[in-house]
Structure 1
Amino acid sequence: MNYVERIMAEIESRSFQLRQLRQKNAVFACQEVEKEIELLKKELMRYKAYESSKINHIYIEPAAKNN
């Protein structure tokens, strides 16, 4: 399981936990889990941006001078 899959699984797990907490009317716990989900989503977006920047920035060595 790669990093993105782990984050997605964690978001899914926290979302399930949030649904259970809402059924129990645990307002404070819901707020905490919502914050965790938002942080995970931000981390996922940050990582995807990082991965795409690695693909888009390719270093090309300058050609050797022929004397």
Structure 2
Amino acid sequence: MLGSFCLSESESGSDAFALKATARRSENGDAWVLNGAKQWISTAREAGLFLVFASYDLDQVRQEMRLNP
């Protein structure tokens, strides 16, 4: 399976600390809901797996990365 890397945004470029895209858990908690736009996603048309960078708890100070299927 081919993967794709989704970091760059129009306002923040590739600065992971300035991301505008957000992620939140769905109402029933079994999925993530993404809100935002990405640019320059390599292999997007062929990929079956996407590594998407987004902020999910804006009140948290610590930084964290998760990979969810």
TM range (shorter): under 0.3
The structure with the larger Rg is: 1
Say which structure is richer in strand. Answer: 2
